Amino acid sequence: MKAIEVKHLTFSYDGRVNAVDDISFTVEQGEVFGFLGPSGAGKSTTIKLLTRLLVPKANRVFVLGQDMAKADYRFMRRIGIAFENDVLYPELTGFENLYYHAKLYGIGKQEIEEVMKMLDILDARDKPASQYSKGMKTRLVLARALVTKPQILFLDEPTSGMDPDIASYVRKVLKELNKNGTTLFVTTHDMHEAEQLCDRIAFFSSGKIVAVDTPESYKKRYGESRILFQVGSDSLQIDRKDKEELLKLIKQDQWDSIHSQEATLEDIFIKVVGRGLKEGDEL
């Protein structure tokens, strides 16, 4: 059984522009699958359709074999959902926020504390959520998603607003969960996040999947490595394949240093999609 199967899924908020425009893809169990795309691409809309926060048309979205247009409350326990701008109860403590969610599913205090510990927010257990920093709130939302021990986690920009150390810690936790069998579906506009976390990445832009591949394979297919010759404050970039030019420059011996530069996933995104990952980053 596939973890996720999406067939020709389209969604429009206003009946005119498609926020999600005829996408199809599958995610295997145990995989980390990422949607990488710029702001407004339709990433959050997609994840809402996958988790029934927006109700998809029947026969378009299957999660663990379940048609999500007909998923009920019992099924929802098997999936965990963490959104970028998720709603917490600000007056309740971190623990209480998790407790009210966990209680619905008969989950006890010990499990809640275990999850808080795993995400390094147990010290803030009794603080109101309103006093959590942005990165702590994101971890609290993640803790809420994890408390039912879901088979699949849906994560919308999971490290948004976190400082780099905490972001890397959270990615480590996510990788560990994946190693223990949890399937992850992740959206991000951060190429490093996509590259570090994902087994496969869909390049996503204007509601459409433009390509799906592994990070290594993208680099092999589209990446060009270049050699950088530094001469004083000037630099000269040469295509690695241009052996003749490379040898000529080396023999001329007028350089201060030579570096090799691999194409980044963002370079490849621009090449394949025709725009960058940041706003206004059109070609």
Ligand X SMILES: Nc1ncnc2c1ncn2[C@@H]1O[C@H](COP(=O)(O)OP(=O)(O)OP(=O)(O)O)[C@@H](O)[C@H]1O
Contact residues: Mg ion, CB under 5 A:
43-44
Q: How far is the CB of 38 from ligand X (least distance, A)?
A: 7
Q: How far is the CB of 157 from Mg ion (least distance, A)?
A: 6
Q: Give the phi and the psi of residue 242 in degrees, each rounded to 5.
A: -80, 70
Select the span of 40-48, 70-78, 104-112, 269-277 touching ligand X (CB under 6 A). 40-48
Our finding on whether 13 is near ligand X (CB under 6 A) is yes
Q: Which residue has the tokens 């326990």?
A: 77
Q: Which residue has the tokens 């970028």?
A: 84
CA distance 21 to 208: 5
Report helix, strand or coil for 224: coil
Interaction mask 164-203, ligand X, x per CB under 6 A:
-------------------------x--------------
The residue from 24, 39, 225, 252 that contacts ligand X (CB under 6 A) is: 39
Q: Which is nearer to Mg ion, 156 or 195 (CB)?
A: 156
Instruction: Count CA atoms within 13 Å of residue 32 on its CB side.
Output: 22
Our finding on whether 93 is near ligand X (CB under 6 A) is no
Our finding on whether 50 is near ligand X (CB under 6 A) is no
Q: Where in 60-199 does DSSP place strands (E)? A: 61-63, 66-67, 79-82, 152-156, 183-188
CA distance 195 to 183: 16
Q: Which does 189 bind (CB under 5 to 8 A by kind): Mg ion, ligand X, none?
A: ligand X
Contacts with ligand X by CB under 6 A lie at: 13, 19, 37, 39-45, 189
